[in-house]
Amino acid sequence: MTLHPTIVFIFGGSGDLTNRKLIPALYNLYLDRFLPEKYTVVGIGRTPISDEDYRNNLLTGVRDFSRRKDQLDVKWTEFAQNVHYQSRDLKDDNSYRGIFEWIEQKGAEWGVVPNVIFYLSVAPQLAPGIATKLHQHKICEDRSAQGSFLKNLSDTICKAHAS
């Protein structure tokens, strides 16, 4: 089965849960070939971090916390080349404009409307505001011809929080 190209945004990408659980889990999926051929993981936090430093921080997390540390020398490098970090304040509308444009650019590069997953790894009190802004900036709207479960699910959640 061919998996549809997918972008995974981790809101709170500079935080402990990302380092301890989320990236090790995604890396396991990569090792087991459960990620799509075209995927991108984008961590988001306010702290300025370069992609290179971000990947090195995450590698330390995998070394410290993952059950699977096999093939790190080769496979981590492959996996991490599709991992990026963006410094954005999730209370700021400009951040959502940037996210929207970034998704559009990635879709154009891939030649598809990608699935987009938002993982909210932030303090719970930030979640309603984030969902509202995702809805207001039309980031959850399904722009593909066929639709997709994940996008529709995201949109439902965004609308529920925004209403």
Ligand X SMILES: NC(=O)c1ccc[n+]([C@@H]2O[C@H](COP(=O)([O-])OP(=O)(O)OC[C@H]3O[C@@H](n4cnc5c(N)ncnc54)[C@H](OP(=O)(O)O)[C@@H]3O)[C@@H](O)[C@H]2O)c1
Residues of this chain that bind ligand X (CB under 6 A): 12-17, 20, 44-47, 89-91, 121-124, 126
Smallest gap from residue 46 Cβ to ligand X (A): 3
- Closest CB 15 distance from ligand X, rounded Å: 2
What is the Cα–Cα distance from 7 to 3, expressed in whole angstroms? 12
Beta pairing class for 6-11 and 39-45:
parallel
Burial of 148 (0-12, 13-18, 19+ CB in 10 A): middle
Q: Which residue has the tokens 């995604």?
A: 26
CB of 111 or CB of 124, closer to ligand X: 124
CB of 90 to ligand X, least distance (A): 4
Do the Cβ atoms of 160 and 128 come closer than 8 Å? no
Contact 45, 13 (CB under 8 A): yes
- Cβ nearer to ligand X, comparing 41 with 113: 41
What's the closest the beta carbon of residue 33 comes to ligand X, in angstroms? Answer: 27
Task: Measure the CA–CA gap between 80 and 59, rounded to whole angstroms.
Answer: 9
Q: Which is nearer to ligand X, 4 or 21 (CB)?
A: 21
> Which residue lies nearer to ligand X by CB, 60 or 144?
60
6 or 121: whose CB is closer to ligand X?
121
Question: What's the maximum distance between 2 C-alpha atoms anywhere in the chain?
Answer: 47
CB of 120 to ligand X, least distance (A): 8
Residue with the CB atom nearest ligand X in the bound state = 15
User: Which is nearest to 111 in space by CA: 37, 49, 43, 11?
Assistant: 37
